[in-house]
């Protein structure tokens, strides 16, 4: 007799405009099968964007934020005035940037090519792009960024995996800054985002034109704010708390008062 509440981590991305969620496919696939970009990690992006606004002491409805949830699964979100306006994951969590074992975005022509050359069926392809690709696939060593950072000096494939990951995140930041028409704060979260100073530094290197200037000492300490005092925008490390967002959502649905 207990009430059951489901909290979807796609919900935060329900505000995506059609230009962000539609795929350039026959429209019937959307109208009949709801094939579109949904996005994931929504509870994380929602939490850290709210925390970023608190740190800035500004209303979230006046901010342009890019939030990065970087872990074994990884996604980016462009948050405009408190709402998700674009995100890197798509119809499934496989899309977007490269992850621990997920490929991220691919040329769809690979499906037919591998079917012809490797006799790969749909199940095998799905298994490959979800469990055998990403950092693991490129390095052929590990899906764990900590391992790859230790190996990169002597293992070129590990170095390639780290470089690919950082490059794809950097490109996404640039794209989302353009989509937002500017940027107030960049937020790193997730296991890699919160605990890998070297990765954060490589992602931010070359983004000075956006107003990003990292403080090396703060970054190495995993400080809350890792940008310099002179940086035009702040770069923050915020530990995510998806469980808290879920709990608050449940309380809201059940009309339970919560702080």
Which residues are the active-site residues?
A: 9
* Whole-number Å distance between alpha carbons of 86 and 20: 6
- Asked if residues 249 and 258 have their Cβ atoms less than 8 Å apart, the reply is no
* Whole-number Å distance between alpha carbons of 96 and 175: 13
- The residue count of the chain comes to 259
**Sheet of strand 74-80, all strands in order from the earlier edge strand to the far edge:** 83-87, 74-80, 64-70, 185-189, 234-237
> Which tokens go with 82?
């408190």
E-assigned strands of the chain? 64-70, 74-80, 83-87, 185-189, 234-237
């Amino acid at each position: 007799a207990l009430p059951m509440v489901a909290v979807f981590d796609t919900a935060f991305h329900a505000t995506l405009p059609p230009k962000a969620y539609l795929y350039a496919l026959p429209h019937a696939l959307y109208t009949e099968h709801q094939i579109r970009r949904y996005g994931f990690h929504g509870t994380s992006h929602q939490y850290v964007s709210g925390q970023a606004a608190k740190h800035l002491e500004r209303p979230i409805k006046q901010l342009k934020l890019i939030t990065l949830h970087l872990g074994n699964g990884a996604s980016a979100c462009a948050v405009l005035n408190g709402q998700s306006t674009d995100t890197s994951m798509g119809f499934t969590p496989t899309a977007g940037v490269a992850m621990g074992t997920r490929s991220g975005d691919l040329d769809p022509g690979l499906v037919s090519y591998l079917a012809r050359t490797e006799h790969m069926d749909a199940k095998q392809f799905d298994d490959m792009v979800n469990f055998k690709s990403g950092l693991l696939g490129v390095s052929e060593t590990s899906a764990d960024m900590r391992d790859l950072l230790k190996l990169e000096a002597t293992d070129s494939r590990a170095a390639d995996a780290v470089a690919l990951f950082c490059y794809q995140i950097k490109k996404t930041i640039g794209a989302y800054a353009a989509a937002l028409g500017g940027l107030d704060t960049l937020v790193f979260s997730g296991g890699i985002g919160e605990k890998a100073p070297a990765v954060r530094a490589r992602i931010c290197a070359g983004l000075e034109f956006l107003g990003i200037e990292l403080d090396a000492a703060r970054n190495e300490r995993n400080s809350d704010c890792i940008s310099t005092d002179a940086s035009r925008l702040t770069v923050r490390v915020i530990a995510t708390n998806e469980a808290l967002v879920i709990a608050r959502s449940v309380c809201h649905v059940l009309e339970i008062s919560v702080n």
